[in-house]
Structures are given as structure tokens and as C-alpha cells.
Structure 1
Amino acid sequence: MASTRASNDLTQGPVFGHILRLVAPMSFGILAMMLVGVIDAYWVGRLGTDQQAAVQFVFPVSMLVMSISIGLGAGAVSVVARAAGRGDSDSTRRVATDAITLSFIVVLLVSVLGIPLIGPVFRAMGATEAMMPFVREYMTIWFAGAVFMVGPMVASNLLRAMGDAIVPSVIMIIAAVINMVLDPILIFGLGPIPAMEVTGAALATLIANMAVFAIAMAVLVFREKLIDFSWPGFDTLFWNWREIARIGAPASGSNMIGPLANTLVFAAIAPYGEPAVAGLGVGMRVEALALIPLFALSGSIGPITGQNGGAGLDARVREAFVKSFIFCWGWGASMAILLLLAGRFLAPVFLPSEDGQAMAVAYWAIAPFAMGGYGVAMAAAAGFNGLGRPFLGVACNAFRGLVLIIPLSWLGGFLGGANGVIWGLFSANLIAGLLIGFLVLRYAPLTAKEGGKR
């Protein structure tokens, strides 16, 4: 298969071997990035409950915005992986370049629009007036620097589409290390550096993203030579943007569903007070550490289904889905037991109030036992994106988030208070995993779908 230097042929060899080869290094990269969120929660938690709750409110909204660039990256992965499966290296470079420019333009527009909407959005979510100054401090800096997140994210997606999981993981680890080193320095101050509290946490993230932005772009341009500086003409540029958007636009919408659902879950639990909000937020973030291999799987299955679908190897595509689903349930069960046993020791580390600790412990005792279902929904959606069938991915995420999580979490809160919200989340993920897995393997078309002709 003709390809760039970093390419790895995913159409040959054991399918599960490719899954593990991509998932393992990516898991370390995601672990590093997730640790940033946990360490942020730890240091900000030392400032007080209002600051902690404010940062937890920020998390789902920031993920909602980043879903746009994630979706565009999914579009690039799909087009690049299918081109690699066909052996079309020229198309691979051209699409990679056009994907980066499109992502920059879109995220820049989102940032410009996002800053003036901080107040209305977070107040509508239920943020109290005590939280709002801290929310505004954090999100203003986050929006201003969002464009610097795009380079590393798109670079990582493009390299994974070519079968390379090592370099993207190194980029993620470098960003995490810089962020973790800067967090206590900028939050609490050191020497001539003043204590900036919540603003310091946001600045640490911004500086780390700026550093790896430069590294990621250098890798694409000089090492991998995936950037084509020639002018393709408007016809080629717009055609590539259209094909990326054909996958990326619905994938962006699909990726927004999860953060949107989480946002409404936070709204459901907000009436029970800041400790409940903080406890739920910490519970979700720590659970996300256990979910790391499943997040890595969702970032790895697209290149596998894309390359094999592009090469017409439909049996290997089905095998990728089957073995991914089995992996999700097995890993989820083992991590649920671990969190159940460790919960009461972890809660005091991150939460200053006893009520917040109780909420986190309750979350870890219930919700993780359905994390395998969450993994199945993510893997199915990403696999369909790789095949060029993004609306099937939208259906998976919409069923889990809109049909199940939102109504069941609110119903649970109505019937059982704060703990009822957790039971609603558990039920939603369990039902979603079982039904999506069955429907994908029994009824879904597992072949690649190409866009229209130029």
C-alpha cells in the first residue's frame, strides 16, 4: 500500500492485534491528559467549594465546544484512512492539509462567538452567582486559546488515520506534563509569580497547548511531510472540505451529544447544592481515568474500519466491531470493581466537604458498572465514522444521550434525589450498550461509503 513514511497497513495481520497496537500507546497519552483534569480538580479544590464547583461546570461546556474540532478530525480520519486503504498517497496529503485549515477557521469562529455567551450559557445551566466570577475567569482564557488546541488534535487524528499511534501519544504526554508542572505554580504562585487561582489553572492549560501546537505542526510539516503547501485550486479545496464536512459535521454533532447530556445531568443535580455538583464532577473525572482504554479504542477503531473498508475487506470490519465490543464489556467490569473498592479512599483526596465526598463515593459504587455500555456506544459511532457512515454514529450517540441519559437522569433525580440521578446514568449506559451492540452486528451495513465524485 502506497503511503507516507508513518503509515502502517491496517488491512493486513490480526485485527485485534492492530486494535491493541493503537489502543496501548494512545491510552498513555489520554491518561496523561486525564490526569491534568484530575490534578486541576485537586489544586482548585484547595481553593474552596465554589471554585471547585465552577470548574466542574466548565468541563462539560468545554467538551461541547471541543467536539466541533473532534468531529472535523473524525472527518479527516475517515477520508485519509479510506484513501490510505486504496493506496492513494497524494490524496492523503491534500486532505490532511485541507483538514487543518478548515479546523482552524471553524474553531476560531466558535471562540469569537463563545466569549460573549459565557454568562447566559452558564447561568442557564444553573451556575450560582458565587460560581460565576470563577467560571468567567476560566472560560474567557479557554476560548481565547482554543485555536491552539486544534493543531495537536488534528495532527494526532491524521497520524492515527495512517496507523501511527506513538507520535500522537508523545504529543499528548508533553502537553500534560507542561500543564501539571505549571498548575500549582500559577494557581498558588511561586517567587515573583503571583497567585492567580482559577485564572492560573486556565493559563497553565493555554501555555501547554501553545507549546505542543508548535511541536505538532513541526511533526506534520518536517518529519511526516503530510502538509502540501501547493495551492490546489478552489474546486479541489472546496471538494475536500465538503468531503471532510460530510463526515465531520454529523460527527461534530454526534460528539456534542455526550457533553450536552452531561451538561443537563449537572443541571439535574444542581438543585441539591454545590457539594453534590462537585461530588458528581469529581466522580465523573476519576471514572474517566478508568475509561481511558475505551476512549483510546474509540480513537483507534476508525482508522481500522476506514482502511479495511476502503480496501473492501468487509469481514475484517465486522471483526473489528465484534472484538471492540467484547473488549469494552470486559474492561468496564474490571474497572467498576476497582472503583467500588477504592471510592471511599479517593473521595477525601479531591473533595473538602463530607457531602461532596459522599456523592462521589455513591457515584463510584453505581455508575461504573455500566461503563462497558458507554464504550460500546463510543466504539460503534467511531467505527461508522471511519466507514464514511457518520449518521449511523449519530444514531448511536443520540440514542444513548438524548433518548436515555437525559430523561433517565432527570427521572432518577425526581424519584430518588441526587443518588437517583446516578441510577439514571447507570440505566442509560447499560441499555445503550446492550441494544447498540445487538443492532450494529445484526442489522447495520458494515461497508465503506464514499462521497460523491468531484
Structure 2
Amino acid sequence: MAGRSSRDMTEGPVFGHILRMVIPMSFGIVAMMLTGIVDAYWVGMLGTPQQAAVQMSFPVSMLVMSVAIGLGAGAVSAVSRAAGKKDFSQVRRIATDALTLAILMVGAVSILGILFVEPMFRLIGATETMMPHVTDYMTTWFAGIVLIVGPMVASNVLRAIGNATVPAMMMVLAAVVNMILDPFFIFAEIPFIGLTGLGWGVSGAALATVAANAFTFLLVGWYLAFREKLIDFSWPGFGEVWHHWGEIARVGIPACISNTFNPLSLVIVMGGLGMAQFGDPAVAGVGVGGRLEAFGIVPLFALSASIGAVTGQNGGAEITERVRRAFLTSFAFCLAWGLGVALVLNVFSGPLAAAFLPSEAGQDVARLYWLLVTLTVAGYGITIAASAGFNGLGRPAYGVAITSSRAVMVVIFAIAGAWIAGGPIGVIAGMALANIVSGLGTAAYALTRAPMTAKGGKARRTAAAPADPVSAASE
């Protein structure tokens, strides 16, 4: 393909390509999750207002990062479909335009974020004690957001051409550098080891994240430009660039919207109409149950980040049978892995619940969550894999329909369950039922009714070629 480590995924075992991408991606996701835990630990040592400020920033930062995820999905779709057609000049051009679009869009978000950080966080409820720390943290984070998003989009481009190892290495490297820099940037005197640090407090935590990602951005940028030769330094004209931006946005914007449905549904379910009405132990039990489940199903998240490249390349090559096989084997993987995670969590449910939850009531809820929701989590995996697979085909409307319908089911079934059962078991049973119905429905539709062909945007209009003067003279 474009470079030495690119992979043609239109040949060879379909699930082999998927598995080859899922394994390294899983390590990368775990590394990033551990970074969040380490950040929270060090910031917590500064004090409660500082810890609260950083936690308050999480929903806003995730909202901004959803833009990056959407741009990445759009880049994967456009690049992989061009790769499947073996149009390698377009692969280079689209990859370059995807990075340019990401930098420009996130740069605009960065400026707006810095200008409005204080009124924005006052609006969502930051207290006076939190506000100085929120401002310090988020101003630094917004200032460096381009350096955080850049390697994410670049890694998506690499995955689109079948290279999953380098993106995973970059994620692990960024996580390790971040964790090393954290105590040096946060504390004037580093706890436990007594070394002198920079003492920048919460802004130091944000700067550690920015610096780590800036380092990996340099590395992955070099790799894209000089190893894979995926950066096109020529100027094709604004018309072509605009066309590629539109094609990336055609998939990226719906993908961004899709990413908000699942967390939004959980916010509602955990609120006053759902779990919160049954007390703090119930909320804590579901929270701990969900967090441990999330670690267990990392490969399902990795699958959703990988399948789009496989469906995109094969859809671009018009090999519909391989596209269908990608969906079928992915769904089977979700089922097998989900049941395996449920088995492990339920076997060790007693000691795990006791380790994380002080109250017996909370422990009971966590064990119930693993028994019902985690047992059916394959349904959730199927929905996110299918959504990503259709995004790869350039059919984002299917992804939005799948994720939104599951989110609606989660809310309706959980609230109805709370009303019918009058306790946490109703909410949990409702969430499990939503997994079952959405998973079965998605699998049935994707494998029997949904189109397996790739879909591109409108063709770009080009000026008519000038008449051949020799031919014109002879007429």
C-alpha cells in the first residue's frame, strides 16, 4: 500500500485482520485508562477542591474529545475506502486533508475554550473554591488540545491502512510519558521520593498530558510523512481539499453525535428517575460494577476502533461477502468475549465487590449488575461494532440509528424497571434487557437486511477539460 507497514485487508482471513488490530489497540486503551487513574491519584494529593475541579472538567473534555473521535471515524472511512480501491494517491491526499481539518477545527475549539472557560464552568455548577483550579487546568488543556487530538487523528489514518501496531505503541508511550511527568509537573516536592518538581499544581497535570501527546505527535507525524509517506505536501487546489473535508465530515459529524448517546443514557439512568432514587449504595454499586466491566470489555472497545478499517477497505474494493464476514465474526467475538468477562466477574464477584464497596447494600447491587448487565454486555459490543463498521462503509446513518435506539431502550427499560420492581433490580434488569434487544436486533438487521456496499459522498465537480486544439481545427 502507501508504505512498508501498510496492510491490504481485502485479502487473507477477515477475522485475522480484525484480531491483529484489536490486540494492540486493547493495550493502548488500557494504558490510557490507567493514565486517568494515575492523574486522579496525584491530583487528589493536592486537595479536595483540586480533585473536584479536575473531575468537573471531565464531561467538557470528553465532549471536546468526541469531536476528535468523530474526525477520526471520518478519516478512517474515507482513507480505508480509497485504500480498498487501490487509489493510493487519494489515500495520501485524504490523509493529509484529514489532519489539516482536525488541526483547524480543534484550533478553533481551543481559542473558544480559553476565552469562555470561566462562564462555561460557572454555568455547569463549578463552585468558587473549584473555579481557580478549573481555570488553571482547562486553560492549559485547551491551549494544548491540538497536540492531543493530532496524534489521535494520525493514528486513525494508520489504522485505516491496516497499521494497528504503531498507533497502539503511540498510545502506550503517551501514557507512560504522562505518568512519569505528572509528579514532576504537579508538585514542588514530589511525595515519597523527595525530589524537587516544578510545582505547577493542576495546570501541571494538564501540561503533562499535553507534553506527552506533543511528543507522540512528533513521532507519529514523522512516521506518517517519511515511513508511510502519507503526507502530501503539494497543493491540489481548494476545491479538492474542500471535497475531502466534506467527505470526512459526512461520516465524522454523525459519528460524533453517536458517541454522545451511550454516556447520555447512563447519566439519565443513574439520575433521579433511575438508580439515584434508591440511595447512594445503589449508585455506588452500579458505578463500581460498570467501571470493572469497562476494564473487562476493553477488547470490545478496541474492536469498534478497528472494524471500520476492514469494512471500509473491503467495501471500497466492492467485496461485499468479506464485509458481511467482518460483521459476522465481530459479533461472534463480542458474544464469546462478553460471556467470558461475565464468567470471571461473577466467579470473583464477592471479593471484588468487598474490595471496592464498604456497604453490603452496595456490594449486593454490584454483584447483581455483573450477573445481569455484564452477562448481556455482548449486545452492547455488537451495537458499537456495527455502528463503527457502517461508518467505515460511509453509511453513518446506520450507526446513528443503532446507537440512538439502544440508548432509548436503556432509558425506557431502566426507568420502567425501576417503577415496576421498585428497587435497583428493576433498573439493572432494564439495562440488561436493552443489551439483549439492541444486540439481537442489530445483528439480525446487519446480517440480513443492511447493505454491505460502500457509499461515497457526491462526486466533486471539476471543470470541463479544454478542447484539443488539433481536434478542433480538424472539425
TM over 0.5: yes
Equivalent AA in structure 1 for residue 443 of structure 2: G
Q: Does structure 1 residue 230 correspond to structure 2 residue 214?
A: no
**Aligned residue in 2 for 1:172:** 171
Further displaced range: 83-92 or 121-130: 121-130
Cα distance in 2 for residues equivalent to 1:394 and 1:94: 27
Question: Which deviates further from its counterpart, 15-24 or 361-370?
Answer: 361-370
Is it true that 1:261 corresponds to 2:260 in the alignment? no
Deviations 1:319-352, CA, capped at 9 Å, x for gaps: 1101100100110111122223445545676678
- CA deviation profile, 1:110-147 (whole Å, cap 9, x unmatched): 33334566667667767777776665554443333222
**Which residue of structure 2 lines up, in the alignment, with residue 70 of structure 1?**
69
**Do the aligned partners of 2:22 and 2:299 also contact (CA within 8 Å) in 1?**
yes
C-alpha separation in 1, matches of 2:432 and 2:88: 44
Greater Cα offset, 62-71 or 191-200: 191-200
* Residues 359-395 of structure 1: per-residue CA shift (max 9 Å, x gap): 7666545432232111101110111011111111111
- Taking the aligned partners of 1:419 and 1:367, their CA distance within structure 2 comes to 11
Shift of 1:151: 1.4
| Gap runs ≥5 in structure 1 | none
CA contact (8 A) 1:86 1:310 kept: yes
Over 3 Å counting, the alpha-carbon distance change for 1:197 and 1:285 in structure 2 is farther
Distance 1:292 1:313, change over 3 A: same
Aligned letter for 2:213? N
- Whichever residue aligns with residue 69 of structure 2, its letter is I
Query: Contact 1:6–1:164 at 8 Å: present in 2 too?
Result: yes
CA deviations over 1:37-68 (Å, ceiling 9, x no partner): 23344555667777666655544443332111
Q: How do 1:173-212 residues align onto structure 2 when only pairs under 5 Å count?
A: 173-187=172-186, 189-190=189-190, 191-193=195-197, 198-212=202-216
Q: Is the 8 A contact 2:184 2:196 kept in 1?
A: no
Corresponding residue for 1:221? 225
TM-superposed CA distance for 1:305, in Å, is 0.7
Q: Which amino acid aligns with 1:435?
A: G
Residues 283-314 of structure 1, C-alpha deviations (whole Å, 9 max, x = no match) = 44432221211111111111111111111110
2:232 aligns to what SS in structure 1?
Answer: coil
Once structures 1 and 2 are overlaid, which stretch shifts more, 154-163 or 259-268? 259-268
| 1:313 alignment counterpart | 319
Q: Residues 439, 305 of structure 1: CA spacing in aligned structure 2 closer, same or farther, 3 A cutoff?
A: same
Corresponding residue to 1:245 among 237, 243, 249: 249
Which shifted more, 312-321 or 18-27? Answer: 18-27
Contact kept in structure 2, 1:60 and 1:262, CA below 8 Å? no
Alignment: residue pair count? 452
Q: Aligned ranges for residues 63-102 of structure 1 at < 5 Å?
A: 63-102=62-101
- What is the aligned partner in structure 2 of residue 146 from structure 1? 145
**Structure 2 length as normaliser, TM-score?**
0.83
Change (3 A) 1:39 1:394: same
Higher relative contact order (CA 8 A, sep 6+): 1
CA contact (8 A) 1:283 1:364 kept: yes
d(CA) in 1 for partners of 2:365, 2:46: 20
Structure 1 residues 440 and 288 mapped into 2: Cα distance closer, same or farther (>3 Å)? same
Task: State whether residues 52 and 278 of structure 1, in contact with CA within 8 Å, keep that contact through their aligned partners in structure 2.
Answer: no
Shift of residue 197, structure 1, vs aligned partner: 5.8
Give the structure 1 partner of residue 464 of structure 2: none
Q: Which of 279, 289, 292 does residue 298 from structure 2 map onto?
A: 292
Change in Cα spacing, 1:411 to 1:113, as seen in structure 2 (3 Å) is farther
Q: Decide whether the 8 Å contact of 1:45 with 1:352 is kept in 2.
A: no
Deviations 1:202-242 (A, max 9, x none): 33322222221222212112222111111111111111111
Structure 1 distance, partners of 2:61, 2:351, is: 29
2:411 to 374, 398, 406: 406
Match of 1:34 in 2: 33
Q: Could you tell me which of 379, 387, 394 is aligned with 1:388?
A: 394
Say which is worse superposed, 406-415 or 168-177, in terms of deviation: 406-415
TM-score for the superposition, normalised by structure 1 = 0.87
Compared with structure 1, are the counterparts of its residues 75 and 397 closer, same or farther at alpha carbon in structure 2 (3 Å cutoff)? same
More deviation in 76-85 or 249-258? 249-258
The residue aligned with 1:7 is 6
The whole-number CA distance in structure 2 between the counterparts of 1:374 and 1:46 is: 36
How far is the alpha carbon of 1:11 from its aligned partner? 0.8
For residues 272 and 47 of structure 1, the distance between their equivalents in structure 2, rounded to whole angstroms, comes to 33
Q: Aligned partner of 1:240: which letter?
A: H
Q: Which is higher, the Rg of structure 1 or of structure 2?
A: 2
Conserved in 2, the CA contact under 8 Å of 1:175 and 1:209? yes
Following superposition, the deviation at residue 256 of structure 1 comes to 2.5
Which structure has more helix as a fraction of its residues? 1
Change (3 A) 1:424 1:203: farther
1:163 positional shift = 0.7
Cα distance 1:75–1:179, how it changes in 2: closer, same or farther (>3 A)?
same
In 1, the alpha carbon distance for the partners of 2:182 and 2:425 equals: 32
Give, as a single letter, the amino acid of the residue that structure 2 aligns with 1:237: V
Q: Give the Cα separation in 2 of the matches to 1:336 and 1:74.
A: 29
Do the aligned residues in 2 keep the contact of 1:151 with 1:216 (CA within 8 Å)? no
- After TM superposition, give the deviation of residue 439 of structure 1 in Å: 1.6
Higher mean Cα deviation, 265-274 or 103-112? 265-274
1:411–1:109 Cα change, 3 Å: farther
Greater displacement, 32-41 / 292-301: 32-41
1:408 offset after TM fit, Å? 3.9
Once the two structures are overlaid, the 10-residue window that deviates more, 116-125 or 56-65, is 116-125
2:373 counterpart SS class: helix
What SS does structure 1 have at the residue aligned with 2:235? coil
Q: Calculate the aligned-residue CA RMSD, in Å.
A: 3.4
CA contact (8 A) 1:61 1:263 kept: no
Distance 1:46 1:356 in 2: 26
Closer, same or farther: CA 45–354 of 1 in aligned 2, 3 Å: farther
